[in-house]
Amino acid sequence: MPYNRSLKDFSRELRNHSTLAEILLWKELRTNKFRGYSFNRQKPLGNYIVDFYCKKLDLVIEVDGDSHVHQDAVLEDNIRQKVLEEYGLSFFRISDAEIKRHMPHVLNSLNNLIDDLELEKGLDRTYFF
């Protein structure tokens, strides 16, 4: 996956100004806490910055807040996702509200997706808690 160094400062700025939903999800994903996988937040990938990224799973997690509901934003998100999927990345999109209201459901859905990705990639399915 190409790395655009010019996005480094902007990704740092985004990390420093995370939304509440991003902070809540990050608490569940950081320091290999979720099934032993390492996630990065506000990770530059190509010409984009994704909310969360797990290199081992080729998985992008996007938190969609209010700014993602407008027609133009949805179109841009779809284009961005398609470009990144062409690099072999999988996407998990979750709404800001879902994270705030139903974190156990979000984590269960993510857990199920990871099960599928592990099977697809032939990864060791050992859980680390």
Cβ atoms 51, 41 nearer than 8 A: yes
| 24 domain residue, yes or no | yes
> What is the model's pTM?
0.89
Are 14 and 42 contacting, i.e. CB atoms less than 8 angstroms apart?
A: yes
Q: Which domain CATH number covers 52? A: 3.40.960.10
Q: 68 pLDDT exceeds 60? A: no
Mean pLDDT over 75-97 rounds to 94
Domain-located, residue 126: no
Specify the pLDDT at position 128.
46
With respect to residue 29, please indicate whether it lies within any of the assigned structural domains: yes
Nearest alpha-carbon partner for 1 in 86, 77, 62: 86
pLDDT of residue 1: 75
> Which pLDDT score, from 0 to 100, does residue 70 have?
66
Q: How confident is the model at residue 3 (pLDDT cuts 50, 70, 90)?
A: confident
Decide if 129 is inside a domain. no
> How far is the C-alpha of 8 from the C-alpha of 92, rounded, in Å?
23
Residue 33 domain flag: yes
Helix H or strand E encompassing 51: strand 48-54
- Structural element, H or E, at residue 80: helix 71-85
CA atoms of 94 and 103, how far apart (whole Å): 10
Report d(CA 40, CA 60) in Å as an integer.
Answer: 10
Residue 128 lies in a domain: no
Question: Number of folded domains in the chain?
Answer: 1
Question: What pLDDT is attached to residue 125?
Answer: 61
Instruction: Give which of 62, 61, 63, 55 is closest to 121, Cα–Cα.
Output: 55
Range of the domain at 79: 5-121
Region of residue 90 (phi > 0: left; psi between -120 and 50: alpha; otherwise: beta): beta
Residue 115, in any domain of the structure: yes
In a domain, 127, yes or no: no
Kindly report, residue by residue over 6-27, the tens digit of the pLDDT.
998 989 989 898 999 999 999 9
